[in-house]
C-alpha cells in the first residue's frame, strides 16, 4: 500500500520534474515558457512516431525502439520549441501569447499528423500511436525493506533516465560557464551583452533544451500512463510543471520537492479510493487532488518567491 504510493508517485513525479527543469532552463534565460504542455505533446508524438516506424522494421526486439523513441522525443520537442524561440526572441512576440498559441497549435498538429500518418502509412484509422508496455525492474535484494523497498520496486527504465538528466541539468545550470551565462541572461541580459556574448543565441539554446526535456517528459508519460500517444497526453502536465517550478522558486532541488509532493499526493489519493473500496466515480474526485494542492501551495509560496528579473522581457540592446 505505502510501497504502491511510492512506486506510482515516483513514476509520476520524475517525468514531471524533467519537464519542470525544461521550464527552469527557459525561464532562467528570461523566456517565459507556457508552451511546455505543447512541447511535451509534440515530443511524445515524435517518440511515438519513431517507435511505430522502428517496430515495423525490427519487430522482434522492441527494446531498441523503446530507447530510441526517447531520443526522438527529445529531438521533436527541441525542434518544435524553435517556433517558441523564433516568436519570442526574433519576432519579439508577447511570450505568454506565444506559449498559449504553441499549445493550441501542438494539439491541432499532433492530432492531425497522427490521424493522417496512421491512415496513410500504418493502415490504421485511429488517432493513437500504440506503444509497447515499458519494462519494469525490481531490485530483489532491497525490495523487502519498508520504505526503501518502494524506491527499488517496479522501477521504469525512464525513471533512471530522468534521474540522470536531472543530475546533468543541475551540473549544467549551476556548475558550468554556460549555466552562468544562461542565468545571467534572465537576470541581467545587458551584462551578458557587455561581456561580448549573444543574448539571443543563449536564449535560443535554453529554449531548445527546455523543448528537449519537455519532449522526454512527454514520452515518459505516454509510456507510463496510457501506453499510447493520443490527444489524452494533454492532461495538464506542462502546467503542473510550471506550477512546480514557481513553487520551487526556479531552483532545481526545491522543484524536485514540489514534484514529489504532487506525485505522491496523486498516488496516495488513488490508493485511498482503492483502500476504502469506494465507488469508481470517486476517482474523479481523487483526480483533482494534485490540481487543488497546486493552487493551495501557490497561495502560500507565490508571493515571496523571486522570478528571474528579466523574465518575459524582449531583450533590447538600447535599454539601460
Burial label for 41, CB within 10 Å (0-12, 13-18, 19+), is: buried
Output DSSP code: residue 133. P
Distance CA 173, CA 17 (A): 15
Task: Indicate the residue among 159 and 183 with the shorter CB distance to other proteins.
Answer: 183
Distance CA 229, CA 130 (A): 6
Contacts (Cβ under 8 Å, ≥6 apart) of 73: 43, 44, 46, 47, 50, 215, 216, 218, 219
Contacts (Cβ under 8 Å, ≥6 apart) of 296: none
Closest distance to other proteins from the beta carbon of 169 (Å): 19
Task: Indicate the residue among 170 and 291 with the shorter CB distance to other proteins.
Answer: 291
Closest distance to other proteins from the beta carbon of 287 (Å): 5
Task: Indicate the residue among 56 and 92 with the shorter CB distance to other proteins.
Answer: 92
Distance CA 163, CA 217 (A): 12
Task: Indicate the residue among 56 and 302 with the shorter CB distance to other proteins.
Answer: 302
Give the DSSP H or E segment for 41. Answer: helix 36-57
Q: List residues binding other proteins (CB under 8 A).
A: 27, 32, 34, 83, 87, 91-102, 104-105, 107-109, 111-112, 115-116, 119-120, 235-236, 239, 242-243, 246, 279, 281-282, 284-285, 287-288, 291-292, 294-295, 298-299, 302-303, 307-308, 311-312
Task: Indicate the residue among 143 and 313 with the shorter CB distance to other proteins.
Answer: 313
Task: Indicate the residue among 27 and 159 with the shorter CB distance to other proteins.
Answer: 27
Distance CA 103, CA 38 (A): 4
Closest distance to other proteins from the beta carbon of 285 (Å): 5
Closest distance to other proteins from the beta carbon of 294 (Å): 5
For 83-116, give the DSSP string.
HHHIIIIIS---HHHHHHHHHHHHHHHHHHHHHH
SS3 content of the chain, % helix, strand, coil (to 5): 70, 0, 25
Task: Indicate the residue among 178 and 283 with the shorter CB distance to other proteins.
Answer: 283
Closest distance to other proteins from the beta carbon of 242 (Å): 6
Closest distance to other proteins from the beta carbon of 106 (Å): 8
Closest distance to other proteins from the beta carbon of 98 (Å): 6
Task: Indicate the residue among 205 and 286 with the shorter CB distance to other proteins.
Answer: 286
Q: Give, in order, the Cα–Cα distances in Å from 131 to each of 62, 67, 107, 162, 170.
A: 9, 12, 19, 19, 30
Closest distance to other proteins from the beta carbon of 182 (Å): 17
Give the DSSP H or E segment for 229. Answer: strand 228-229
Amino acid at each position: 500500500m505505502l510501497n504502491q504510493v511510492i512506486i506510482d508517485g515516483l513514476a509520476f513525479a520524475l517525468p514531471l520534474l524533467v519537464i519542470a527543469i525544461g521550464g527552469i532552463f527557459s525561464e532562467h534565460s528570461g523566456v517565459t515558457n507556457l508552451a511546455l504542455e505543447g512541447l511535451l505533446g509534440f515530443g511524445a508524438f515524435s517518440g511515438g512516431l519513431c517507435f511505430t516506424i522502428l517496430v515495423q522494421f525490427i519487430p522482434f526486439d522492441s527494446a531498441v525502439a523503446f530507447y530510441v523513441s526517447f531520443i526522438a522525443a527529445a529531438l521533436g520537442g527541441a525542434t518544435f520549441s524553435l517556433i517558441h524561440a523564433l516568436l519570442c526572441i526574433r519576432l519579439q512576440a508577447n511570450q505568454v501569447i506565444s506559449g498559449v498559441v504553441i499549445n493550441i497549435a501542438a494539439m491541432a498538429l499532433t492530432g492531425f499528423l497522427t490521424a493522417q500518418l496512421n491512415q496513410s502509412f500504418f493502415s490504421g484509422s485511429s488517432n493513437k500511436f500504440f506503444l509497447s508496455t515499458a519494462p519494469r525492474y525490481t531490485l530483489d535484494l532491497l525490495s523487502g525493506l519498508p520504505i526503501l523497498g518502494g524506491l527499488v520496486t517496479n522501477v521504469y527504465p525512464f525513471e533512471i533516465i530522468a534521474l540522470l538528466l536531472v543530475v546533468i541539468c543541475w551540473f549544467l545550470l549551476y556548475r558550468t560557464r554556460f549555466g552562468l551565462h544562461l542565468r545571467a541572461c534572465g537576470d541581467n541580459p545587458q551584462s551578458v551583452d557587455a561581456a561580448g556574448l549573444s543574448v539571443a543565441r543563449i536564449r535560443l539554446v535554453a529554449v531548445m533544451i527546455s523543448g528537449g526535456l519537455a519532449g522526454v517528459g512527454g514520452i515518459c508519460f505516454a509510456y507510463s500512463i496510457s501506453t499510447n500517444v493520443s490527444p489524452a497526453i494533454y492532461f495538464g502536465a506542462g502546467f503542473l510543471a510550471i506550477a512546480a517550478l514557481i513553487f520551487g522558486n526556479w531552483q532545481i532541488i526545491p522543484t524536485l520537492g514540489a514534484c514529489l509532493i504532487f506525485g505522491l499526493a496523486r498516488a496516495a489519493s488513488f490508493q485511498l479510493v482503492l483502500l476504502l473500496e469506494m465507488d469508481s466515480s470517486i476517482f474523479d474526485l481523487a483526480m483533482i487532488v494534485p490540481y487543488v494542492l497546486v493552487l493551495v501551495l501557490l497561495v502560500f509560496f507565490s508571493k515571496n518567491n523571486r522570478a528571474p528579473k528579466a523574465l518575459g522581457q524582449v531583450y533590447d540592446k538600447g535599454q539601460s
